[in-house]
Structure 1
Amino acid sequence: MRNCAYMEDFYKQKIVYPNMTKFLPFYLDDKGFLQNDKSFMIIGENIAYLTAFLNSSLFKYCFIDNFPELQGGTRELRKIFLDKIPVLQVSEKVNLEFEKRVMKLQELFMNKLSTKQMEIEIDEKIFDLYSLTEEERKIIGFIEIQ
């Protein structure tokens, strides 16, 4: 029975991400994609907000120093490293606001359109939630990892 319950998780809204990467591609999956053993998934509450946070410049700022660098400039995104990053708990209402933005961002990306403006908008919302000062916002800036 345990395997059946685990399989059900694939059909829930989830965040999908690779175990090793040079950039941070956290994808909000609402289509029930299956994965292979080279990726991980996160399920739970307020998953759209968490996707926005994990793709934000604030998280990228933390990512640079907190995830081990491997050969070729890749980083390892294992759960034990993700667990160390503090994430604010948000309401369902806030999560729904982020869901609209994240889905729009992913749509732009899939259509090969510029996502920078949407990424900056999401960053600003994340910075607001964390009550970052103007000075802190300038230090972090807009981080694009390629």
Structure 2
Amino acid sequence: MSKNKGKGKATSKAGEATTPPVSNTPVTLDKSGNIAIKILAKPGAKQNGITDIGLEGVGVQIAAPPTEGEANAELVKFLSKALGLRKSDVSLDKGSRSRNKIILISKGVTTVEAIEQSLRKESKYLLFFMLYLSMRSSNLITLSI
């Protein structure tokens, strides 16, 4: 009987060691060393952009329809460009048919902090651009090129 007790304890400890810690950010490091980003996709938008960054995920609007994987491909392309990474380093892990997705960044390419900073920067850019467009459409400012 002592063999069974020993095995039961070992499995219990091993199970506890593999449980991922609860995170309060949508960007985390997974057990394989890859960076995982929780995404709340909004396909069918006029332009690509990050709409918000919250605890439940990064809101990303995608300028592609949610059919035949077009929005997923556009999401990977947009995020790789926004984060300054190669497309081969960015992949869709979960949620190919859902608006809730998990994007993986290859191990060793960058850090969680760098990803968070790039996402915040891209989010601010979109907010300023939208403000500019709204002001321009109401004739508050003009742009001469």
Query: What TM-score, normalized by structure 1, do the two folds share?
Result: 0.27
Which is strand-richer, 1 or 2? 2
Higher relative CO (CA 8 A, sep ≥ 6), structure 1 or 2? 1
Which is helix-richer, 1 or 2? 1
